[in-house]
Amino acid sequence: MLELNHVYTRYEKVECLKGITFRVHEGEMVALLGANGAGKTTVLKTISGLVRPTAGEIFFRGKSIALLSAEEIVRLGIVHVPEGRKIFQKLDVLENLELGAFVRNDPGETAKDLEQIFALFPVLEKRLKQKAGTLSGGEQQMLAIGRGLMSGPSVLLLDEPSLGLAPILVSAIFKMIEEIHRRGKTILLVEQNARRALKIAKRAYVIETGQIVLEGSADEIRNNPAVQEAYLGGRERR
């Protein structure tokens, strides 16, 4: 469904992605793991059109999207929930959700999606008129995901949704992501919490300094000695 072929991306003179190739099939949840600065966020930004690849191809449902604008990519049904939430703090919760649906003009379906989001994140419905900046970290993450879902996407790109959350909230957020996936969304999940991510994803890729160094089923990745050492062993919290 989503396919990257030898994608290169650079910021000014620094090459950040050096020939990234991977695919995400319809209905799949795939994890993208890697250390700080490996290029995970850049991969998502390249897909969602925030930065342009300098070489390589990106296909969505067989259509080349590498040169489309961010707006066109949202319209196609790919939504990027950014790292650090990036909700509109000065706007209220409802306005944030409405902005998520900015590109849509199917009010009936949009209203249904809003109901679904309330069912998934009941706390948002209670805070509709509250300024988003006054929400707790966990609530802000739920809002960021809810806002993404409001565009009615078929693919969700989630960038470190558990970042900075208390352990109990981390579990809650992962449960919600699983639920969203169960309801039919294709998900590309970027995480530093490899242990958790590998529990809910079916397959995973590992990125190191702009290159995919490992790929396989979640089990294979989990049991790979190098991964155990780098991403699971030292950082493990029992």
Partner 1 sequence: MNAHIELFLQQVLNGLTIGMIYALIALGYTMVYGVLQLINFAHGEIFMVGAHLALLMIWVLTSFFAGVPFWLVILGVFLFAMAGASFLGAAIEKTAYKPLRGSPKLTALITSIGVSFFLQNAVMLLCGSREKTVPEVVPNLRFGLGAVSFSLVQLIIFLTSLGLMFFLTWFVKSTSLGRAMRATAENPEAALLMGISVNRVIRVTFMLGSALGAVAGALFAMYYGSINFHDGYLAGIKAFTAAVFGGIGSIPGAMLGGILLGLFEGLAAGYISSEWKDAFAFLLLGAVLIFKPSGLFGENLPEKV
Ligand X SMILES: Nc1ncnc2c1ncn2[C@@H]1O[C@H](COP(=O)(O)OP(=O)(O)OP(=O)(O)O)[C@@H](O)[C@H]1O
Indicate the SS3 state at residue 24: strand
CB-based contacts of 178, cutoff 8 Å, min separation 6 = 200
Contact 210, 35 (CB under 8 A): no
Of Mg ion, ligand X, partner 1, none, which one sits near residue 36, judging by CB under 5 to 8 A according to partner kind?
A: ligand X
Choose among Mg ion, partner 1, ligand X, none what residue 91 binds, the Cβ cut-off being 5 to 8 Å by kind: partner 1
* Residues engaged in binding Mg ion (CB under 5 A): 41, 83
Choose between 189 and 206: whose C-beta lies nearer to partner 1. Answer: 189
The gap from C-alpha 227 to its chain's centroid, in whole angstroms, comes to 21
Q: Which is nearer to partner 1, 104 or 202 (CB)?
A: 104
List the one residue out of 103, 112, 182, 117 whose CA is nearest residue 149.
Answer: 117
CB of 190 to ligand X, least distance (A): 7
Helix (H) or strand (E) holding 172: helix 167-182
Out of partner 1, Mg ion, ligand X, none, what residue 92 binds, judged by CB under 5 to 8 A for its kind, is: none
Buried/exposed 51-79: b ≥16 CB within 10 Å, e otherwise: bebeebebebeeeebbebeeeebbebbbb
Question: By rule CB under 8 A, what string of x and - marks binding of each residue 87-116 to partner 1?
Answer: xxxxx---x--xxx-xx-------------
How long, in residues, is the chain? 238
50 binding partner 1? (CB under 8 A): yes
Using the minimum distance from each CB to partner 1, give the nearer residue, 91 or 176. Answer: 91
Instruction: Read off the tokens for 56.
Output: 């390589």
- Of 145-164, binders to partner 1 (CB under 8 A) are 147, 151
Task: Kindly state the tokens that stand for 211.
Answer: 């290159």
The listed partner (partner 1, Mg ion, ligand X, none) that binds 49, CB under 5 to 8 Å by sort, is partner 1
Contact residues for partner 1, defined by CB under 8 A: 48-50, 69-71, 73-75, 79-80, 82, 86-91, 95, 98-100, 102-103, 147, 151
